[in-house]
Amino acid sequence: MLFNFCNRPEGVFRSEFRKQLLATLSVTIITFCNGIGIGWFAPMLTKFQSPTESPLDFTASVEEGSWLGAFVCAGGFAGNIIFGVLLDLIGRKPCIYLLAIPHMSLWLLVYFAPSIEYLYAARFASGITGGGTYVVIPIFLGEILDPTIRGRLTSMFTLTLNIGMMTGYVLSSYVPYHIIPIAVILLPLLFVLLETFFPETPPYLLHCGKEAQAELSLKFYMNYKASSKLDIEQFNIKFTELKSAAKHQKSQTDAVTIRDFFTKRALKAISIGMTLMFINIFTGSFALLSYMSTIFVAIKTQIHPDTNTIIIGVVQIVGSYIAISLVDRYGRKILLLISTATTGACLASFGMYAFLAEETSVDLSAYHSWLPLVLMALIIFTANVGLIPVPAVVLVEILPPKIRSKAVSFCVTLLSLFAFFMLKVFPPFMHAFGLSATMWACASFAAFGLLFITVCVPETKGKSVNVDDEK
């Protein structure tokens, strides 16, 4: 079934898309690595806070645990800014190489940590890589992928992140603490090695005035064979389109000015991007994933909290795969609508279960072994079908090419700030008001998101990202 799907006329395994697929698989190794770092934290946090289970010579308080959760987003904020500046300054490929450095620092700090401050620094380093990937990889993929497969392959970003998170859940649940850094630190080195086989993106090379290199790069990513007159014509049309777009942007001046961010199209696109980032975070999926084991401890399920967390990791992967399968077939907006509506309903349902468990004497013994897990699985599954992966695709597709890299950096910087706030307040909010109120608050943001997406978000399926269509 998968083979037939991918070999349809728009399938990602067609020969002309082969290099694009390989480039996507190689560049998303770093998102897999980043996912391991994020997933490692959820089960490990409960161990850090337990005097009997802590693998180190110290334990973390609730307050220190919330800082451990939030520091990854502080690092993400720094990564957004750093890579947002470097993206146009030194290019997409050098930025991709640099993503590996803070990730390797994460595991060195984890391995040698003698105090909580080392773990703060490790989470900050992890965030730098995560923040950088949200800036660099969507733009890199957006500039090399054909529009007919862009949605699916860009969604690989989320799929590999989720596979990495599940790997992190398993490692931190079952592998000794000091073995994990040794086992995973070589992955970013493999990532850097593989990336040497792929050239810089054609639009960036044209932006730098390197037309000959841009032509070679486009031939590489199109898997150009020149086996027929039609192939030559198709390539010439594509390259002419890219040159025209680059020329149009240069005619507006090479330097991006503040005015470029205040055109009608730019303001609308940035506003949509900012709001999608807000909805992405405040519907709670990232906080739920970060504190998953803690939540299952609070709800008192019969299954071990770490086992529940691993099951949720599998659900994440299934949801991400379905998003890849559907995003180019049915479009971006419909997935966002369905995902936001169902996630909100499931959040409200989980909140009701938590309320009955926390505030009433209702006998839930027939349900507590499975219902919390099912509800949480539905939340994470429905969020991964659209709410988590699709905003990154939409953001790249709606922004004018001239300001795309800086505007993407700005929007994902806001994402990191939102996530920092959410991860910092989530544990004390849950402690003060209960799990039910916390879930209902997230459900209310989903209701807002459903209204906003219905009214304001355009469909961008099939839209070229290399042509500025502003009049």
Angle between helices 29-48 and 156-174 (to 10 degrees): 40
Asked if 383 contacts 409 with a C-beta cutoff of 8 angstroms, the reply is no
Q: How far apart are CA 133 and CA 156, in angstroms?
A: 13
Map out the domains of the chain as residue ranges.
11-198+252-456, 204-251
Model pLDDT, residue 3: 42
Give per-10-residue mean pLDDT for the chain (471 aa): 45 80 94 93 86 88 86 90 88 95 96 94 95 88 85 81 90 91 93 94 88 90 76 80 75 68 89 93 88 80 77 84 76 90 95 88 80 90 87 84 79 85 89 90 96 90 58 43
Model pLDDT, residue 467: 55
Total-model pTM: 0.76
- 3-class secondary structure per residue, 98-132: HCHHHHHHHHHHHHHCCCHHHHHHHHHHHHHHHHH
Model pLDDT, residue 364: 79
Cα–Cα separations (whole angstroms), residue 358 to 248, 378, 430, 433, 439: 61, 21, 12, 11, 13
Model pLDDT, residue 96: 96
CATH of 11-198+252-456 given 1.20.1250.20, 1.10.150.300, 2.60.40.10, 3.40.30.10: 1.20.1250.20
Model pLDDT, residue 93: 94
